[in-house]
Amino acid sequence: MKRREVIKNLSILPVSGVVLGSAIPFETALAMAAPPKRDIFKELGIRTFINAAGTYTALSGCIMHDDVVETIRYSSQKFAAIEECQDAVGKKIAEMLHAEAAMVTAGCWSALVLGTAGVLTGTDPKKVAQLPHLDNMKSEILVQKTHNHGYVHAPTNTGARIVEVETLQDIEKAINEKTAMMWFLNYAGPDGQIKDKEWVALGKKYGIPTMIDMAADATPVENLWKFHDMGFDLVCLSGGKGLTGPQSAGILSGKKDLIAAARLNAPPRGGNIGRGMKVNKEEILGMYVALEKFINRDHQKQWKIWEDRIAIMEKGAKSDPGVTTTVTVPPVANITPTLTISWDMTKIKVDANEIRNRLRKGNPSIEMMGGKENLVITSWMMRDGEDKIVAGRLVEELKKASA
Ligand SMILES: *Cc1c(COP(=O)(O)O)cnc(C)c1O
């Protein structure tokens, strides 16, 4: 019997459990109807796990929305010109984000590099070809000392260098004819003396473009347009974190002339610093659908799902009397309910590193965050039902350790 016939017959399956007109038992018919499965992770011996950690690049970020996967599959069956994809998708994304223009990039990091490149080169093809050598060009980026770590390396890929500032006076002293841009790291916002609105106002006062890195900060949804409304010239966002789009995609959005300039530094063009930061039609269209699905999601309902999962895991952990739990929501970035679990180590005699290790090695494997003193869990990258599995494993391991 052909697969198609099996499926057709399944729809008229009688209660007897035998496919009508044949002697094939129900289970066999079902197995035949199921799409052929190849478990490649298993074949290759790659561990898969429940992600109670969050949107970490090393842990493969997020699970894409079903419609994104469908879009990738659909677009993979046709050819299209990349520039047309960027034009059309960029226009739609810009509307959704309250921006003048937008482009899909190879992650937020790539948005940071290409956006900075655009600021430095404008639409001058000679300057595009010249990067990362900035002779006779602007070359300095102002960054607050408390924002100057990790991701700031991205803008410096253009050849530009960071000039650290702390106070308003520092800024006024630092600004000169070489100053190209003012960079702001959203998650470090509370740590710096100068806050986002003031940063934008200073940029406008001195005629210097401002860029914000809000990679992991798509929640709450208003964040997606907040920084455009505030006046930032360029906004950089990850596609494969909270947005549950392609992990290797991101969005650069902002002023029309700056996006046009950034695109000159990006694929499909070559002879520029961005040629390696490629996004294909599948990711460009996938990013668009991810953003659309994210914005139109029932955010209250989603938040409640995340909270309910956290409550189930918290209850599990708390069933051990030596355990203390807290549920918090970070103030600026990665805004999602976050469970922290710690314990009295005279009662539960192993540290949190060891518990995480045991959960990682268990079946199913579970990943979470935290240090030696605590376990830190978020539920936004978990799938339905996994909260109960994690709760059960927490109970098991904590009990074993306190025995
Ligand atoms: C994740 C992250 C990035 C890099 O984003 P990708 O989408 O992984 O390229 C940049 N900045 C911050 C603050 C991030 O959290």
The CB density around residue 142, as the number of other CB atoms within 10 Å, is: 26
Span 138-154, average pLDDT? 96
CA nearest neighbour of 104 among 225, 202, 226, 246: 246
Residue 52 sits in the same domain as residue 146: no
Distance CA 142, CA 166 (A): 10
Residue 87 sits in the same domain as residue 16: no
Q: For residues 130 and 271, is the Cβ–Cβ distance under 8 A?
A: no
**Residues comprising the chain, all counted:** 403
How does pLDDT run across 188-207, given as a tens digit for each residue? 999 999 999 999 999 999 99
Q: For residues 179 and 185, is the Cβ–Cβ distance under 8 A?
A: no
Residue 164 sits in the same domain as residue 264: yes
Residue 258 sits in the same domain as residue 121: yes
Q: Which of 270, 296, 322 is the last residue of a domain?
A: 296
> Residue 247's domain spans which residues?
80-296
Give the SS3 label for residue 248: coil
Distance CA 120, CA 157 (A): 12
Of ligand 1's atoms, which has the minimum distance to the CA of residue 111?
A: 9
Check whether 3 has a pLDDT greater than 50: no
Q: For residues 149 and 294, is the Cβ–Cβ distance under 8 A?
A: no
Give the SS3 label for residue 383: coil
Number of domains in the chain: 2
What DSSP character marks residue 189?
A: G
Q: What is the pLDDT of residue 11?
A: 41
- 80 C-alpha vs ligand 1 centroid, how far in Å? 28
CA nearest neighbour of 202 among 258, 280, 144, 133: 144
Residue 22 sits in the same domain as residue 125: no
Residue nearest to ligand 1 atom 12, measured at CA: 215
- 113 C-alpha vs ligand 1 centroid, how far in Å? 12
How does pLDDT run across 52-111, given as a tens digit for each residue? 999 999 999 999 999 999 999 999 999 999 999 999 999 999 999 999 999 999 999 999
Q: Which of 296, 312, 339 is the last residue of a domain?
A: 296
> Which of 56, 57, 211, 234 to mutate for ligand 1's pocket (most ligand atoms within 8 Å of CB)?
57
- What is the value of pTM for the model shown? 0.90
How does pLDDT run across 245-261, given as a tens digit for each residue? 999 999 999 999 999 99
* Residue 172, domain CATH: 3.40.640.10
Residues contacting ligand 1 via CB (< 6 Å): 57, 107-109, 151, 187, 213, 215-216, 238, 250
Q: Which of 279, 296, 313 is the last residue of a domain?
A: 296
Residue 277 sits in the same domain as residue 320: no
Q: Which residue type, as a one-letter code, is found at position 82?
A: I
324, β-bridge pairs: 342
Residue nearest to ligand 1 atom 14, measured at CA: 215
Distance CA 199, CA 176 (A): 17
Distance CA 93, CA 100 (A): 10
Residue 222 sits in the same domain as residue 329: no
Check whether 25 has a pLDDT greater than 90: no
